[in-house]
Amino acid sequence: MSAIPYTFERRPDTGVNNVKLGVWLFLASEVMFFGGLFSAYFMLRAGATSWPHGPDVLSLPLGSINTVVLLTASAVFTVAVRAAQAGRQERIRRLLAFSMLLCLAFLGIKSLEYAREIAAGLVPRTSTFFALYYTLTAVHALHVIAGIILSLWLWTTSPPAWRAAPARVVNRLEAAAMYWYFVDAIWLIIVLLMYVA
Amino acid sequence: MLADPQGRSILWRELRASHDTVRRLFSLDHKVIGLQYAITSACFLLIGFGLMMLMRWQLAYPMQPIPFIGRWFGPTTAPGGVMLPEFYNQLGAMHGTIMIFLGVVPLSVGGFGNYLVPLQIGAGDMAFPRLNMLSYWIYLVAGLVMLSSFAVPGGAPNSGWTSYPPLADIASMGQTFWLAGMILLITSSLLGSINIIVTILQLRAPGLTFMRLPFFVWTQLVTAFLLLLAFPPLESASLMQLMDRIGGTSFFLPSGLFVGNRPLAATGGGNPLLWQHLFWFLAHPEVYVLILPAMGIVAEILANSIRKPLWGYRLMVYSAIFIGFMSFLVWSHHMFLTGMGTGMSAFFQTTTMIISIPSVVILTALLLSLYGGSIRFTTASLFALAFLPMFGIGGLTGLPLGLAASDIHLHDTYYVIGHFHYIVAPGTIFALFAGVYYWFPKLTGRFLDERLGTIHFWGSLVCMNLIFMPMFIEGLAGMNRRMYDGGLFYPHNQGLQKWNVLQGWSAWTLGLVQIVFLLNLVVSVRRGRMASDNPWDATTLEWATATPPPHGNFAVAPIVYRGAYEYSVPGAARDFIPQNEPGNGGLPAGRGAQPQIS
Amino acid sequence: MMARWLGLPVQASAQAAGLDRLTVLVHLLMAVVFVGWSIYFVYALVRFRRGRHPRADYAGARGRWSSGTEAAVAIVELILLAAFSIPAWATRVNGAPDERTAVVVRVVAQQFAWNVHYPGPDGVFGASNPRLIGPDNPIGLDRASPHAHDDVVTINDMHLPIGRPVVVQLSSMDVVHSFGVPAMRVKQDAIPGTMIPVWFTPTLEGQFDIACSQLCGLGHYRMRGVITVVSPEQFGAWLKTQ
Ligand code: HEA
Ligand code: HEA
Ligand code: CUA
Ligand SMILES: [Cu+2]
């Protein structure tokens, strides 16, 4: 008795497999984590005497471009999942690579924004608005970096894993996709709260 | 680089040689990881206790040099052996932090949970062994980071385990270590809790339906959900406090602060209460994390030592789930005096009263279970039985704190300290002791010595009560907590000093009593009476495998046919029927168990 | 009576008796529950020990009196909540005395002292200016401002007339402190960035401690102020001498 059952096969009575359930739980905790940060946003904003208008101090164009880039990256990732589900293993790595590139582009643009803001003297200690802006976006960027590492891991392990059990690879990709959608969703909220409102 | 003929580096060969040790150290086996957790957290418990014994000296004999070891302290902590207030505050904050985050939770969840959950559900291991190992190592690093803060300038964190800003924002460097340690610790417990939940939901043996789970597994499940969902907000809060401290932000600093009559260089605009909300949003569920596994351990041991099923098992399960759910809705009862309006205080008082009911239900169920039993007084069951009235005292004294009007006088007095120590010390710690006496034979194949155990039990029971009972007297009389001089600065506390002396001596005696326990552990591992695979005639699955359980836990995957506590079934041949025993144990037809494979 | 038995401090304010009544009632509930259960517990331990009861009874306790006790505890808790605690809190928060008849004092907490600020005979507080804050003017009172000349500022020393409501407007300059007066059954955190009012009516002459009740640093333990409750005439005389 040693192999752990249900890592990627569904357990009939619970209807999920271990990896997916694990990712769901992880995302639940992430919701609480960002919930903490967002509640800070609302509490500080409610108590603030003045609050800058997002587009005046941040670059909405760059933010919008970045939104498109990030969403495209997840879309490409979704295509990779579809390819895996359709059994087209040869396409997986190419699509993963493309998705990773887009994520790198996202980080690049984000750094550009940071550079501009810092050059303009807008740093975390400038105001609670910027404290929140830098904290939220940096934490989000860390999530993007973690996602890139995850994709890289999938990129390197998928060929041998595919040979052993394609279903395992499909499951991993599906689980990773859930993570990416979460990262997208957080970004959209950040854009809404910081860049737009 | 040095290389051998095959071109592999010498270093590699060396590493290969130490491979076995490394493998054992970085084991993926949940039992090894559980033990690593248990031993590490027991060390932290001892450290936390040691800090406390120091504090009790200062409280009993304020401003008198600490005897014997006083000389070891430096001029920044206790010049001439006389403790400085800074150092007292460090000890207090670290005692609380270590006991809760590095001691009890890792022991009950990382240690007991890790070791027992897979065994009790008939699984080969945890669902994610690698994450499991990672979570232990992150925990260890977190603990070391926290401890190392004693060595930095300004010493360890000194703003209480609650770390309220602005005080914590402007505190010395130790606080940064606290925050870093906290972030690591939360990451570790996150990995651990995901693992436990997935393991329980997914790896249950065939036939082990939810209502057949041992109560201990249920408490671990609820606990894991609490850790999963309550800890992250504190992680974000710690991140923000870290930003305040090193990034110059003002999340928790309002505008216009003056420290020492000089303006504080900060932008301001923050809110100190934001921290308190985020902290207590974690810390209230956290207290149930401290108690639920303890209740689980007590339930297991009681059922076994009274030789009958638990009374109201289902009710207990629903209550545990309800506690878990409600514990997210009571956090502000720690903040009644922060300027709360009527509506909010009414809400939190009500939820607090509501959450006390499921605890009453669980306690009642455990107490009623005794009725009709055939009680065996082993050391394990003594500790488990003592848990009931001790938790009762701790829980009941939560009520005057939960009513905002009576909390006005009691808030931040020793009454609060007494309240929760009754729950965590003669409550949770006793449950953990009970668990050690009960499962030690499974781990090692040997019993702990019962005679030493009895000394340990009675010694601990008496000393703990002598420490914590007077706290209620002190609290009602208005003596505040976190008082460096034991409150002597105030005339109204003068008459209470005698209690401080009593508490001091009891605490040090308690320390001596623990030496008996440690001695028992060390001696019994080698020379204790031998134990069979199922020495307590128990029903749950951990006793259905070899002692100690092999790698992979079970030679044959077990199948479960019945509930967890089939003791003294009328008509059965023996007074217990293991969960995995097929057939109906000689029962009349119809009462037997179906395997219900699902 | 029972309040004495619990060891509560003297009741030096008008609200103390009411709050103590709740404290006493909760403790009565606790005592009843605990003693009741303890009697049963000891009985069960003796009656059902192995020697006396060698074979356990599978079914165990029967009957519904457990739900009965649980319901009883719940009901008593709800009564204490609805009939005592919530109303008491409502008066604490909403029942502010009329500021025209009350003594109004500002208290600014600071590591590790209580700065007490009286408006003086004109009944109006002078303005504070953060730039003036310094060792000898910890609250930065601007003596040049219109109503400031008669203001009285003391440190750790609060005099109050007996029988007149007091409104303390509480704030803090640095970290969180807590304005705790055990004898008055008053406690309120002083949170920097906010000003929170608390009120009470002293009913006993004498000296009572203000004990800082929130960890505020290394001097927390000695952050003590003294409230001296005197007759109205003495109070007026004291104000003049300041
Ligand atoms: C494991 C830990 C634990 C548990 C389980 C609890 C349980 C409860 N706690 Fe406690 N609490 C703490 C740990 C815990 N607490 C800590 C650590 C603090 C301080 C933090 C700090 O400030 O540093 C605190 C502080 C605290 C406060 C804030 C006080 C203040 O700062 O002013 C409040 C207020 O409402 C409160 C209330 C309660 C209530 C109503 C319960 C209820 O859930 C209790 C319900 C239980 C019962 C009602 C018992 C039932 C009893 C019987 C059925 C009788 C049995 C009798 C026999 C066997 C003889 N607690
Ligand atoms: C789980 C939490 C926990 C535990 C177990 C304890 C245990 C004890 N605590 Fe502590 N305490 C806190 C959590 C805890 N405490 C917190 C959160 C605070 C508030 C801090 C703050 O103000 O910020 C506090 C504060 C606090 C104070 C108030 C200080 C002050 O306000 O100035 C005091 C005073 O006496 C005290 C005393 C004790 C004593 C005598 C014990 C004894 O019961 C200790 C007994 C210890 C043991 C018996 C451990 C033995 C361990 C072994 C033998 C190892 C092997 C064990 C196994 C394998 C199971 N504690
Ligand atoms: Cu001021 Cu404690
Ligand atoms: Cu609580």
Residues in chain B, overall count = 598
Nearest by CB: C134 against B261, B337, B338: B261
Record the tokens describing residue B534, joined without a space.
């199922």
Nearest to B139 by CA among B105, B91, B170: B105
CA of B222 to the centre of ligand 2 (A): 24
- Which chain B residues are closer than 8 Å to C55 by Cβ? 374, 568, 575
* CB distance B355 to ligand 2 below 6 Å: no
Alpha helices (H) along B424-496 = 430-444, 450-476
Nearest to B384 by CA among B436, B462, B452: B436
- Tell me the HSE value of B40 on the side-chain side, using a 13 A CA sphere: 24
**Partner-chain contact B552 A48, CB within 8 Å:** no
Q: For residue B193, which amino acid is it?
A: S
H/E run at residue C181? strand C177-181
The reply to whether B372 touches chain C by the CB within 8 Å rule is: yes
Chain B nearest-CA distance from C233, in A, is 27
CB-based contact C85 B405, cutoff 8 Å? yes
Residue A27 confidence (pLDDT) = 96
Question: How wide is the angle at C-alpha B267 spanned by C-alphas B261 and B268, nearest 5°?
Answer: 75
**What DSSP character marks residue B81?**
G
Please, which residues have CB within 8 angstroms of residue A77's CB and are 6 or more apart in sequence?
A95, A96, A99, A151, A173, A176, A177, A180
Q: Mean per-residue pLDDT for B381-386?
A: 96
Ligand 3 pocket residue status of C214, Cβ below 6 Å: yes
Return the residue whose CA atom lies nearest to atom 38 of ligand 1: B398
Check C182 against B372: CB less than 8 A apart. no
Instruction: Give residue B522's identity as a one-letter amino acid code.
Output: V
Per the rule left: phi > 0, alpha: psi between -120 and 50, beta: everything else, B571 is: left
Residue of chain C whose alpha carbon sits nearest to that of B566:
C58
B52 contact A CB<8A: no
Nearest to A36 among B125, B269, B278 (CB): B278
Model confidence at B393: pLDDT above 80: yes
Q: Which listed ligand is nearest to B89 at the C-alpha?
A: 2
Q: Which pLDDT value is given to residue B13?
A: 52
3-state secondary structure B488-517: CCCHHHHHHHHHHHHHHHHHHHHHHHHHHH
How far, in Å, CA of B542 to CA of B540, rounded? 6
Shortest distance, CA C166 to any CA of chain B (angstroms): 17
**What does each C-alpha distance from B23 to B132, B420, B549, B550 come to in angstroms?**
15, 40, 18, 16
**ipTM for the complex?**
0.94
Distance, in Å, from the CA atom of C66 to the CA atom of C63, rounded to the nearest integer, reads 8
- For the cut 50, the answer to whether the pLDDT of residue B590 exceeds it is no
Tell me the DSSP string of C86-133: HHHHHHHHH-PPPTTTSEEEEEEEETTEEEEEE-TTTT-PPPB-GGG-
**Which tens digits make up the pLDDT trace of B101-114?**
999 999 999 999 99
> Which residues fall inside 5 Å of ion ligand 4, going by CB?
B 284
Q: Does residue B400 belong to the interface with chain C, where contact is any CB pair within 8 Å?
A: yes
User: Chains with 3 or more CB pairs closer than 8 angstroms to B?
Assistant: A, C
Between chains, do B364 and C85 touch, taking CB under 8 Å as contact? no
CB-based contact B483 C45, cutoff 8 Å: no
Q: How far is the first Cα of chain C from the last one, in angstroms, to the nearest whole number? A: 40
User: What rounded mean pLDDT belongs to chain B?
Assistant: 90
**pLDDT, tens digit (0-9, with 9 covering 90-100), for B541-565:** 999 998 889 888 898 889 999 999 9
pTM of the model: 0.93
CA angle C17, C20, C23 (to 5 degrees): 160
Burial A123-153 (b: 16+ CB within 10 A, else e): bbbbbbbbbbbbbbbbbbbebbeebbebbee
Residue nearest to atom 54 of ligand 1 (CA): B392
What is the SS3 assignment for B247?
coil
Whether the bond between B129 and the residue before it is cis, its omega within 30 degrees of 0, is no
B596: left (phi over 0), alpha (psi -120 to 50) or beta: left
Looking at the DSSP bridge assignments, the partners of residue B68 are none
Ligand 3 geometric centre to CA of C177 (Å)? 4
Q: Does B184 touch chain A (CB under 8 A)?
A: no
- B400: confidence class by pLDDT, cuts 50, 70, 90: very high
Q: Which residues of A touch B (CB under 8 A)?
A: 1-7, 11-14, 16-18, 21-22, 25-26, 28-30, 32-37, 39-40, 43-44, 47-49, 123-128, 131, 134-135, 139
pLDDT along chain A (197 residues), means of 10: 78 89 96 95 90 87 94 95 91 93 96 93 89 95 96 92 89 94 96 90
Segments of chain C scoring below 70 in pLDDT: 1-3, 63
B230-280 pLDDT tens trace: 999 999 999 999 999 998 899 999 988 888 888 888 888 899 999 999 999
Please identify which residue in the block is written with the tokens 């009656």. Answer: C47
List the end-to-end C-alpha distance of chain B, in Å, as a whole number: 58
What pairs with residue A175 in β-bridges? none
The token pair at C75 is 């009901």
Burial class from Cβ neighbours inside 10 Å (0-12, 13-18, 19+) for residue C127 reads middle
Which among B127, B235, B274 has CB closest to A43?
A: B274
CA B145 to centroid of chain Cα atoms: 20
Our CA-based measurement puts residue A4 at a distance from the nearest CA of chain B, in whole angstroms, of 7
What is the H or E stretch that residue B96 is in? helix B85-97
- C29, C53, C75, C77: best mutation site toward chain B, by most B Cβ within 10 Å? C77
Q: Is B279 in the pocket of ligand 1 (CB under 6 A)?
A: no
Express each pLDDT in B494-530 by its tens digit: 889 999 999 999 999 999 999 999 999 999 998 899 9
The pLDDT assigned to C158 comes to 93
Q: What is the reported pLDDT for B3?
A: 44
**Which atom of ligand 3 sits closest to the CA of residue C111?**
1
Q: Measure in Å the smallest separation between the Cα of C190 and chain B Cα atoms.
A: 8
Contact B249 A128 (CB under 8 A): yes
Q: Which chains touch C (3 or more CB pairs under 8 A)?
A: B
A18/B554 CB distance under 8 A: no
Residue of B nearest to A30 (CA): B232
As a three-state string, the secondary structure of B113-158 is HHHHHHHHCCCCCCCCHHHHHHHHHHHHHHHHHHHHHHHCCCCCCC
